[in-house]
Amino acid sequence: MAQKPSIPKGTRDFNPEQVAKRNYIFQTIQSVFETFGFQPIETPSFENSETLMGKYGDEGDRLIFKILNSGDYFDKLNKSLVEVIKDSLHNILIFIKKTGSENINWLTYKEVYLNFIPNHIKSNKNIQLTEEKLNYNQLAETLWFIIYDGFLKTQEKLNQFIDEGDSRIDDFATRVFGSFYFNFSSVHVSDYITEKALRYDLTVPFARYVVQHQNEIEFPFKRYQMQPVWRADRPQKGRFREFYQCDADVVGSNSLWQEVEFVQLYDAVFSKLKLEGVTIKINNRKILSGIAEIIGASDKLIDFTVALDKLDKIGEEKVKEEMLSKGISEAGISKLQPLFNLSGSFGSQIESLKAILSTSKEGTKGIQELEFVHAAITELGLSTATLQLDVTLARGLNYYTGAIFEVAAPKSVQMGSIGGGGRYDDLTGIFGLDDMSGVGISFGLDRIYLVLEELGLFPETVTKSIDVLFINFGDKEALFSLKAIKALRANGINAELYPEAAKMKKQMTHANRRNIPFVVLVGEQEMNSNTYTLKNMVSGEQKTVSLDELKNLKK
């Protein structure tokens, strides 16, 4: 039976029209990146797991796709993991001896396996359970049934301990389950079988790149990167498991003029795409730190920002509930009320923040940085975008330390953010390079595509891949046509020959279905006069032209 073709959830195939439209967005963004002086780099699709893990917060880490090691990794399980399991088993055996089961002499793994695992589990396996031949599956199976089945067989003895109030029951819990659980769980099995992971974003790999190639880079370094990333997220409209990011970053400069430039860059890209009315939201992580300090939750900054970042998705009450569940006090949350109700112009919100954060040095510094960016943009002006202060904007990534950005589509479109970014002062420090501040932004290509599609903003010419199709009447006519096609292609005109000498109707239908604007007919008469019959597929007009006239088809 033939297999039904399918692809994983959260991934997509793209047809020629979609690819053409995506390339239009890519090329527009790339052209602006290069106009602003950014240089291209690329990094691998997957990184070492240790490069990515711990950089995005708990929620981000859970969304990282890990790659299973190739080869016979189960049979070559790291020795340290085997030693931990062996120690756990050893402690279990010692305890069993101490319980008074003198008639049983537990000495080897094999004996443990044979005596503790039920027969129906062991049947037909013929497992050689020696230290040299242990593999992960056998160890996991052995340990599971020792805990789950083997000790159930000692239930009578345990009940006796409980009935008599024997202190050895505490010893049982500590030595058996304690030794097994804490020793075994302290070794992350995934570390041994998944040493690599698909990249979650482009920023952390970029930080790794900067540190690894620091002696080759001229700082400040302005780079752009347009590559796919992967997240084990729940697929929904505008949210995929495989998607492209288009990033631009500057490292090696603390200057706030970089933040000003990124606001201008966003405005330039969306203006060039004719996507007018986007809102560039800005906040500062220092303000969030100051707020956390005032409500007595400085030690829970990550939990606070992760919850706050969900405000537009789950609403105020749910955010408060999540904060309570993370241990932030009701008294502290009540102090946030002015934050939830903050509105008005950029300047008026700044004045309100000054009053709220008057006792916080960190918060005050964040306000000053926002004022700088706002004043510069007010002076320089934006073409079609609007800069807006949003003090609830948190972006749940741990590495942001200063300004944070998020771009919202025009209000007429129901869509999540179509871009975001921020300042990260110490990201390269995790790879051993300190005092290397950076700031960057990202464009969400897939969401931008959906917005442009919904608003009808793709130019009609984007999907027109072929300008002219030559009708095939036979081998002689085809050869004559191909000489002209070669000349047209050299002149920048996209041309092709229909491959078979099929019926005229079939070839014309093919041209219509592909929206090819012109067809050329070459028969005996055209070859004798060295001319071509050009047919406009939109108007139906047909005329005889020379090769030079064909070369001017686009003019």
User: Which residues sit in the known binding site?
Assistant: 201-203, 231, 245, 249, 395, 399-400
Those residues with Cβ within 8 angstroms of residue 103's Cβ, 6 or more apart along the chain or in another chain:
none
Nearest-angstrom CA–CA distance, 8 and 342? 42
H helices of 421-503, where? 445-455, 475-490
**Crossing angle between the packed helical segments 136-148 and 109-116, to the nearest 10 degrees:** 50
Q: Which residues of 124-154 are buried (b: 16+ CB within 10 A; e: fewer)?
A: eeebebeeeebbbebbebbbebbbeebbeee
Residues contributing to the annotated binding site for L-histidine: 201-203, 231, 245, 249, 395, 399-400
Asked if 56 contacts 398 with a C-beta cutoff of 8 angstroms, the reply is yes
**Cβ neighbours, 10 Å, residue 553:** 19
Query: What single letter denotes the amino acid at residue 302?
Result: I
β-strand pairing of 221-230 with 39-40: parallel
φ, ψ (nearest 5 deg) of residue 129: -95, 75
β-strand pairing of 518-521 with 468-470: parallel
Query: What single letter denotes the amino acid at residue 37?
Result: G
β-partners of residue 445 are none
- How would you classify residue 540: left for phi > 0, otherwise alpha for psi between -120 and 50, otherwise beta? left
- Listing DSSP states for 12-33 in one string gives ----HHHHHHHHHHHHHHHHHH
β-partners of residue 197 are 47, 66
Asked if 427 contacts 237 with a C-beta cutoff of 8 angstroms, the reply is no
β-strand pairing of 279-284 with 386-389: parallel
Distances (CA, A) of 471 to 289, 482, 529: 69, 11, 18
DSSP three-state, residue 525: helix
Candidates 403, 498, 37; CA nearest to 250 is 37
Strand segments, DSSP code E, in 215-326 are 221-230, 242-251, 279-284
Residues in the chain: 555
Nearest-angstrom CA–CA distance, 363 and 545? 73
Asked if 264 contacts 241 with a C-beta cutoff of 8 angstroms, the reply is no
Residue with tokens 């595509």: 449
Nearest-angstrom CA–CA distance, 207 and 321? 35
